[in-house]
Amino acid sequence: MDQNLRVVVPYSLEAWHQAISAIISDGINDKVIDNLVDVIRQLIDGDGCSLIVYPQGSHPHCQYRQRANSGDPKAYITHYLERAYLLDPFYRLAVEDKQHTVEGVFSLNQVAPNGFEDSGLYRNYYQLVNFGDEICLIMPTPDDTSIQISISRQSSSNCFTPEQFDLINQLFSTIRAVLLKWWSSTSEHKKQSLLKSHLEHALSHFGSSLLTDRETQVLQLKLRGYAAKYIAEKLGITLETVKHHRKNIYAKLDIGSQAEMFHLFIDSLAMVTPDSPADPLTNYFKPQLKNA
């Protein structure tokens, strides 16, 4: 027998059928939705799962999060929801293409940019929560909200198999119908209680008050985890030119690494208000300049 041949273990759909039966008998509410998300995790043997709602122009809301061992690193999910989500490749996939609606099942390998494992988000979020692999279900709503279910594997676990990915694809239409029904029945009061966010605007202008237009472009791509080679191809410049811009960026922002760039971005967003200048660094550096 070929030692490289993967043995596929049949999936038990009993828990799935029970979850759907509960929805039929009890109706759609937060409790049955939480249970459905965890059942999806069980179906593909995930180590963790979450349901996060991204309303347009508002902070994301974590409806549900669970790990198989009952652990929940709240400090990291709070950090993610407050600001770091802006750099999440799944979030960027859902919001960046204004011409097309992004919907379906995606793996981290499909959406993460080249060099993502060296990015600030990866080192300061994915590694800290011990994510090794992730599958994300993206479901847009009629009111421009993005509902996303994330199923994760810890770094010590094997990656999800193609069969597990295909199984979620087969169930996606049912999951989508249930989640859209749940969101449409969610009270307007609850939807409107989500704080207005100006962070997306701040991200698009981050560094623009201190850097040239080209340096700002390079900074934006570095923040989102792209490797220098890809940045050079995307911007139509040489790799050496990218490195030259990076050197200037580090000097102007008084940082020495991509990790410091990430922390500067996160810290500066904490000062963003509706009346803030376009570049969050404008307000961020003001107190330092006064004390200089």
Find out whether 136 and 174 touch, Cβ atoms under 8 Å: no
Find out whether 248 and 174 touch, Cβ atoms under 8 Å: no
What domain range includes position 244?
A: 199-285
Query: Could you report the per-residue pLDDT of 21-80, keeping only the tens digit for each?
Result: 999 998 998 899 999 999 999 999 999 899 999 887 777 888 888 776 655 555 567 777
In whole angstroms, what is the distance from residue 16 CA to residue 4 CA?
31
Regarding whether 146 and 94 lie in a shared domain, the answer is yes
Regarding whether 60 and 21 lie in a shared domain, the answer is yes
For the chain, what is the domain count?
Answer: 2
Regarding whether 252 and 118 lie in a shared domain, the answer is no
Q: What are the structure tokens assigned to 141, written together?
A: 């709503």
Supply the CATH number for residue 62's domain: 3.30.450.40
Q: What are the structure tokens assigned to 151, written together?
A: 């199923």
Query: Could you report the per-residue pLDDT of 110-165, keeping only the tens digit for each?
Result: 999 888 888 888 887 787 777 889 999 999 999 888 999 999 998 877 899 999 99
Q: Model's pTM, two decimal places?
A: 0.74
Which residues are CB-contacts of 28 (< 8 A; sequence separation ≥ 6)? 178, 181, 182, 185
Domain boundary among 131, 155, 187: 187
| pLDDT at residue number 173 | 97
Q: Are strands 48-54 and 61-67 parallel, antiparallel or unpaired?
A: antiparallel
